[in-house]
Chain A
Amino acid sequence: MRPLLTALGLVAAWEALVWLTGVPPYILPPPSRVAVVLVGRFDLLIEQAVWTATEMVLGLALGLTLGATLAVIFAASAGWRRWALPLVIVSQAIPVIAVAPLLVLWLGYGMASKVVMAALVIFFPVVSSLYDGLRRTDPGWIELAQTMNASPRAVLLQIRLPAALPAFASGARIAAAVAPIGAVIGEWVGASAGLGFLMTQSLARGQTPLAFAALVILCLLGLALYTATDWLARRLVPWQSFQGD
């Protein structure tokens, strides 16, 4: 309740600021104007939002799947660890955002380049969180499994992997928070649809209130994606809620 009041206060201050200074709306539109556009262009906004949301969700799913697969492979195979893990770490030196124009060049203005962009942005946090979790299994559990004649494969799948799920869940939460960044940057660089595309288009035409309205929807999308992921992550590790974290 209190943060909501703070937000309302900030919105009111913003409205007052525009009134007092007389800034033209194409520089800084007052919230009331943004609200009018939100309602008036709702159909357009929703249409673009569905497009962007699809990119985010697909990108998140792709990044989580690839990241998790690679983390499990690294945990299972010393060869992969030696040959490919340093590469994954070094690849973080490449600013993913700088790759966006290349992705658009290779994959076109459609959805694919944005999905790959979002997947790239979240790939590293997912790999590193799950891989760390897989490495930090309680050695007592592994020894117990050894006395039970468990194969390394059974230890990985039945002990190390479930034990790493809480770490994976935190990685997935971070991924959900940053996946929208990938999708929107992809749209800024080159797109034919989506909220990011709508923002660049409306800014270029001096329709700043529409850009702000798109931004509002984008915030809500990001929030929804995070909340949904957080909910799923909790379901993934139901035993964690008892550990008093």
Chain B
Amino acid sequence: MRSAHIVLDGHVVAENLSLDFPAGRTTCLLGRSGVGKTSLLRYLAGLLPGTEAAGPVAYMAQRDLLLPWLGVLDNVLLGYRLRRDEAARRAAEPRARALLAEVGLEDRLNHLPSTLSGGMRQRAALARTLCEDRQIVLMDEPFGHLDAVTRFDLQDLAAHLLRGRTVVMVTHDPLEALRMGHEIHVLSGSPFALGPAIVPAGDVPRDPADAGLLTLQGRLIGQLRSGS
């Protein structure tokens, strides 16, 4: 990202932002609600007016956005259905099934989303995001509204499945950033600025009980508080 200006409804969210996202790694952008995290991600996804995505990206929003009239498998293959590429869809189907097996939904292939729990729906959304098979994955607080234990399970699963991809994940949860991010940047101020890269030790997903991680969490919370 080079010299990005993000303007939303005439309000400058950020100006002259530059940041390198290391390839094949997960970068977490941590900030309080309302700082402009989602705008930044939508900027990267090319969803803001006048912007274009840097390249093919897979986007996972806060809500699962599963289509209620499609079964789980069809939802996972949504991108191929929308691109009307029947050959590619058929080619991708085994991978979709394999991904659903990895997220533990292999026996729910034809179930409608409304019959699934919140955690299952988010796992289906994760499978859909990965099924797009894009090198760059943008995630917007994807596990924000799940209960704590389900969130931990999904973080483990996502960290495992996202390995090797360039991931940008925004979150307001310091612990989530510390568990998932190879690198963490704190967003603060208005228009917001990006803090320096914080690189916690160890590979993701990191153990939430690790003492070093918890110390770091305390520091991050302090930074988030003072930054506003």
Contact = CB atoms under 8 A, between A and B. Distances in A.
A140 interface: yes
Contacts of B112: 238-239, 242
Contacts of A238: 69, 112
Contact of B67 (A147, A150, A159): A159
Given A144-B59, A147-B57, A158-B82, A239 B65 contact: no
Interface in A188-245: 237-240, 242-243
B58 A239 contact: no
Interface in A121-149: 138, 140-141, 143-149
A101 B81 CA distance: 50
Interface in B3-44: 42
A141 B56 CA distance: 18
Interface string B67-97: 1110000000011011110000000000000
Contacts of A138: 65
B63 interface: yes
Contacts of B42: 143
Given A140-B63, A158-B82, A243-B114, A147 B69 contact: no
A31 interface: no
Interface in A100-125: none
Contacts of A243: 68, 114
Interface residues of B, number: 25
A144 B57 CA distance: 11
Q: Is chain B's interface secondary structure helix, strand, loop, or mixed overall?
A: loop
Nearest to A243: B114
B103 interface: no
A155 B83 CA distance: 10
A144 B61 contact: yes
A149 B53 CA distance: 11
B47 A143 contact: yes
Q: Which of B69, B78, B115: most chain A Cβ within 10 A?
A: B69
B99 interface: no
Contacts of B61: 140, 143-144
A150 B68 contact: no
A154 B82 contact: yes
Interface string B170-209: 0000000000000000000000000000000000000000
B45 interface: yes
Contact of B58 (A147, A154, A163): A147
Contacts of A159: 67, 82
A143 B67 CA distance: 13
B141 interface: no
Interface of A: 138, 140-141, 143-151, 154-155, 158-159, 162-163, 165, 237-240, 242-243
9 contacts: A141-B65, A141-B67, A143-B42, A143-B59, A148-B132, A149-B83, A150-B82, A154-B83, A240-B68
Given A150-B83, A155-B82, 20 more contacts: A141-B67, A143-B45, A144-B61, A145-B78, A145-B82, A146-B47, A147-B45, A148-B78, A148-B83, A148-B132, A149-B83, A150-B79, A150-B82, A158-B82, A159-B82, A239-B68, A239-B112, A240-B68, A242-B68, A243-B68
